[in-house]
Structure 1
């Protein structure tokens, strides 16, 4: 099973009422939640580890996981409130305002984290759950406790406006990257983490020096690349009429993991023998499913039945 570890929240999506006023529709979301849902829809055995409230929004999150074939037995439930993220859309691109103080997700500690069954073969981390303490430290410590015998993928999904202590965040991120196998970043994320000096390959190599075996860089309309210490591979973006970009990166990650799962690559022993070129089919799947997601409103990843091969 692929266990997605991180935030599950409610996106408040802007909409128009019949009278023309702006209203906000509550939709399940969060980068890690979205990836778990996308994996479930792609017929991958997936679960979510997150702090989830017993409030009505938390119950909506749990129902949505069940509807999308995602295991919820490793959730940490509490009576704290759910995190809300107000979505602001401009020209199809999304920015967010987070309401997260003392939330069920943010207040997780390592003591809350469950022991993992042997069926969990892969851990996936990322998003705002790696920023906001104490949960951010809990996830880092959880990775240190549980990651050694499992494949680990991280997508930091950097949101500079959400980071209050960049020094602490960078140190935590470096600790987690050192324990990971695959790091996926956008080109903007890459610049934030390793600096803007040099070309893309040089920056990717600086990222690899932090400890991961593979670095995947998404390049928007230019597609995506994967790097290892010895080479690289590239895939083109799939053409799509963009409605909005909500959940695009999260779905891309699910596509990558789903193809690696399908190809039997998600074990530490197998992964060690792979090269960047071996991950090109996984990136192709990621680009395919992301293109479907951006062609429709919200984080609405495709089902396996919608894919061509």
Structure 2
């Protein structure tokens, strides 16, 4: 997706993020309860907006107080919500229960679909991102798969499974959809926890290398506080450490890493369908630099409460 820059007359590339935006109800061990806008794809869109990227979000929000709060949160980070012809009866809710270490487990009250018709920007996005609940949960998951497939001819496709077993059924039932999206994607970011659920007992690096043979140019596996591992279709293999920080909670850490990954590849000139070959051939030095920045972005996010990714100014770039 693009828009015209009125000051220069040039067309500025935009991202399209497709997926759930909802309300996280966070319950802490001290008994406190707080509500925040959430949802993995929404968090990625917020992360991109704070890093200065033009980003549109195609989602499924209710016309209610919670939906309005989510829309205000998105607007504050310059994310444009695409208008659709239909919406759910109420905005979905995810309850995050934090343990003593700030690690979240989730319970959900949600519905997911896409509008039958939605606002169509004038040009194709340079990148389309999806993942998590939106990519799997019926009835919207099948529509997301079709949308991603339709954009592959013009856009880089990025995907984060960000699996929620409480909603997705068994690993055996979920695996075919995940692998279908992996095969369509150019970039996959996945956590070691997701891979352990999908393929118990198999080394995450082995799965990443297998996925890199399915179609993606780049597969990245995050290991929380232990950093990340990446492999490319051309054979680059490398690991990056995670900066040491005091963890407030892990909510949104993977999403902020994903936003940083899209943004870093964008800055390196590796997004867009016409750059698919260059992305697959990315050199180790470029990839190391991009991933080290992703790890720094995620570390800032876990150092403060909630899904609160840093801006480019906080990174010393703006």
Matched, 1:67 2:72: no
CA distance in 2, matches of 1:77, 1:156: 26
Closer, same or farther: CA 74–120 of 1 in aligned 2, 3 Å:
farther
- Equivalent residue for 1:294? 302
Task: Note the 1:158-169 alignment, pairs <5 A.
Answer: 158-164=163-169, 166-169=171-174
1:160 positional shift:
2.0
Map of 1:25 onto structure 2: 34
Which residue among 108, 111, 121 is the counterpart of 2:114? 108
Partner of 2:59: 50
Please name the residue that 2:138 is paired with: 133
Check whether the contact 1:2–1:120 (CA below 8 A) recurs between aligned residues: yes
CA deviations 1:78-127 (Å, max 9, x no partner) are: 25111101110002100111001xx3xx1336x34554532511000111
Per the TM alignment, residue 148 of structure 1 is displaced from its structure 2 partner at its CA by: 2.3
| Partner secondary structure for residue 36 of structure 1 | helix
Q: Which residue of 2 aligns with 1:219?
A: 223
Q: Secondary structure at the match of 2:61?
A: strand
CA contact (8 A) 2:97 2:104 kept: yes
1:82 counterpart SS class: coil
Q: Identify the residue that residue 275 of structure 1 maps to in structure 2.
A: 282
Q: CA deviation at 1:178?
A: 1.1
Equivalent residue for 1:11, pick from 24, 39, 56: 24
**Could you tell me whether the CA contact under 8 Å between 1:228 and 1:276 is conserved in 2?**
no
Listed as ranges, the matches of 1:120-199 within 5 Å are 120-164=125-169, 166-197=171-202, 199=203
Q: How many residues align?
A: 299
Q: 1:36 aligns with which of 25, 30, 45?
A: 45
Q: Does 1:303 align with 2:311?
A: yes
Output the TM-score relative to the length of structure 1.
Answer: 0.89
Counterpart contact for 2:37–2:69, Cα < 8 Å? yes
User: For structure 2, which runs of at least 5 residues remain unmatched after alignment?
Assistant: 1-13
Contact 2:205 2:221 in 1 (8 A): no
Listed one character per residue, the Cα deviations across residues 9-42 of structure 1 (whole Å, up to 9, x for unaligned) are 00012269xxx8x353221000011111111111
> Equivalents in 1 of 2:188, 2:303: separation in Å?
26
Contact in 1 for aligned 2:23/2:39 (Cα 8 Å): yes
Name which of 233, 240, 253 aligns with 2:245.
240
Shift of 1:43: 0.9
Query: Which is worse superposed, 239-248 or 79-88?
Result: 79-88
**Do the aligned residues in 2 keep the contact of 1:9 with 1:29 (CA within 8 Å)?**
yes
Structure 1: runs of 5+ lacking an equivalent = none
Q: Distance in 2 between matches of 1:291 and 1:251?
A: 9
Compute the TM-score of the two structures, normalised by the length of structure 2.
0.87
How far has the Cα of 1:188 moved from its partner? 2.2
